[in-house]
Amino acid sequence: MRSPALTSTASFKALESHAAEARDWQLRSLFAHDAQRFPKLTVDAAGLFLDYSKNRLNTATIGLLLDLARERGVERQRDAMLNGEKINLTEQRAVLHTALRMPRGKQLVVDGQDINADVHAVLDHVKEFTDRVRGGQWLGYSGKQITDIINIGIGGSDLGPKMAVLALRSYSHPRLKMHFVSNVDGHDMDAALAQVNPETTLFIVASKTFTTAETMLNAGTARNWFLQSGGKQEDLAKHFVAVSTNTKAVAEFGIDTANMFPFWDWVGGRYSVWSAIGLSVALAVGFGYFADFLAGAHAMDEHFREAPLEQNMPVLLAMVGFWNRQFLNAGSLSIAPYHQDLNRFPAYLQQLDMESNGKRVTRNGDAVDTVTCPVVWGECGTNAQHAYFQLLHQGTDVTPIDFIAALRATHDLAGHHDALLANCFAQSEAFMTGKTADEVRADLAGQNLTPEQIEALVPHKTFPGNRPSNTILMDQLTPGALGALIALYEHKTFVQGVLWDVNSFDQWGVELGKVLARNIQSELSGEAQPDRHDSSTNGLIGMAKAAQHI
């Protein structure tokens, strides 16, 4: 059934009228006039805490936003996704990353197949394999234990595992050093190979399709390097394993399919860290912690499925983001983890959000009649404060920020964690309150300046404030908390996709990239001078060809 255009719905119109007033609201006075604002606009779920009170909205706004969520069918579509309906219409696929983190025995039948049993059979294989590598029973060709693991994959087959391995650094095996090679740029592989010994290195070739050009080139290079550095053809099985849905291509590459970890077409690349694509995570932290990671995500799934919309954390996060994007014109969302181990989390969210909802047509192919996904970007605090926070405080655009922090550290270095949290809370407060001209004057009063000097400085030192942010807290960055955090954002992305009525689960823009380079690559290696393109492209190709002969 065709959904009506977003702007034609009654609840969207109600929000538009409400927004006309709310645009002038000042966060300072919203807080000043409601002592209960913090308890009213915060929520707990699956070990996470979300404070969305520092946004330009009130409980009436939330009520109207939730009316829209209901009118757009968020609950119905959530259930359709969780029950395995083929909601990825352009690829005719179910979307079941949530099934990857279901406990054993929770039956879910899709196309006549009990996928829970399939998922747990692969998890059993992951456990058996990771126990052997970590325990030192899996040996390289010269009888030595594995010391280095290189995951070769790109996009969804790289960003999730790399982010999670870094995030769970404190839980990692001391002998195993993890490396990630994704870029077709040989400098990436070169840097990794320079650090490892073929006798003690395990390669994971991670590719859903096992046809992605970058990954296949990198995997071939790794195999050649291994064979040229002492390894023999018959040793490959001890040093190369695969994660894929394509058994035939894995066998053709020369990997023993006994060492292949399968997954399924109903797992989207950017939602695949929970599948065997997470093998590097399980190797780093061990199967027990990997299971905790899955359990944390499952707890968020259950919350998303069960909690009323008023207390549903992913729904609320989505609705607040939608409000900022749609009615406050926020073209981007900045992610600020105040946790160094979440260093790659903004990059991970970039793919999750922008590849899912960076769309301009509805599921039926009509043009979307509003803006869709904002640009997502960010860096860890406090580093970000010493760089681009200037623009966030005093630039001309209003950029909402998600602050993410753990109340307790996973290290025991004295003094650092209080300093970190103090910065995190001080920033969200400053974005909210800003600093008025009178406050600046008062600050400058005791500094031996003339009245003229003070007035000249006032506009520069004034902060508009009223800049929205969320704060997400967890107790500690444990495997379970990380799982819940990722699942929170996955479901937030899903809900926003439903509001805009886009297919959040295809990625035709990415597929385009997979074919575009092929033609030019053959021109780069051929004899003929390029003449098939515009003058710029021809010129650039010509320069690269000339450089090859130097």
Of the candidate spans 7-15, 131-139, 206-214, 394-402, the one that interacts with ligand G6Q by CB under 6 A turns out to be: 206-214
- CB 305, CB 102: distance < 8 Å: no
Q: Is 54 a catalytic residue?
A: no
SS (H, E, C) 90-129: CCCECCCHHHHHCCCCCCCEECCEEHHHHHHHHHHHHHHH
Q: Is 386 a catalytic residue?
A: yes
507 lines the binding site for ligand G6Q (CB under 6 A)? yes
Residue ranges in 256-295 that form contacts with ligand G6Q under rule CB under 6 A: 268-270
Q: Decide: residue 303, CB within 10 A, 0-12 exposed, 13-18 middle, 19+ buried.
A: buried
Q: Which is nearer to ligand G6Q, 389 or 505 (CB)?
A: 505
Which tokens sit at 199? 């006798």
Q: Decide: residue 177, CB within 10 A, 0-12 exposed, 13-18 middle, 19+ buried.
A: middle
Instruction: Report how far residue 136's alpha carbon sits from residue 488's, in angstroms, rounded to the nearest whole number.
Output: 36
Strand 332-338 versus strand 469-474 pairing type: unpaired
510 lines the binding site for ligand G6Q (CB under 6 A)? yes
Which position among 3, 98, 200, 207 is part of the footprint of ligand G6Q (CB under 6 A)? 207
Rg of the chain, C-alpha, whole Å? 26
Which residue sits closest to ligand G6Q, CB atoms considered? 155
Q: Which is nearer to ligand G6Q, 209 or 538 (CB)?
A: 209
358 lines the binding site for ligand G6Q (CB under 6 A)? no
Q: Which is nearer to ligand G6Q, 146 or 181 (CB)?
A: 181
337 lines the binding site for ligand G6Q (CB under 6 A)? no
Residue of 105, 42, 111 lying closest to 266 (CA atoms): 111
Instruction: Report how far residue 510's alpha carbon sits from residue 494's, in angstroms, rounded to the nearest whole number.
Output: 19
What track of x and - describes contact with ligand G6Q for positions 220 through 259 (by CB under 6 A)? ----------------------------------------
Q: Which of 199, 214, 355, 523 is catalytic?
A: 355
Residue of 110, 106, 196, 86 lying closest to 152 (CA atoms): 196
Q: Which is nearer to ligand G6Q, 47 or 268 (CB)?
A: 268
Instruction: Report how far residue 49's alpha carbon sits from residue 45's, in angstroms, rounded to the nearest whole number.
Output: 6
Alpha helices in 138-278 (DSSP H): 159-167, 186-193, 213-228, 236-239, 247-253
Which position among 209, 332, 394, 436 is part of the footprint of ligand G6Q (CB under 6 A)? 209
Residue ranges in 57-96 that form contacts with ligand G6Q under rule CB under 6 A: none
Q: Is 355 a catalytic residue?
A: yes
CB of 211 to ligand G6Q, least distance (A): 7
Active site residues: 355, 386, 514
Residues of this chain that bind ligand G6Q (CB under 6 A)? 154-157, 207-209, 212, 215, 268-270, 355, 507, 510
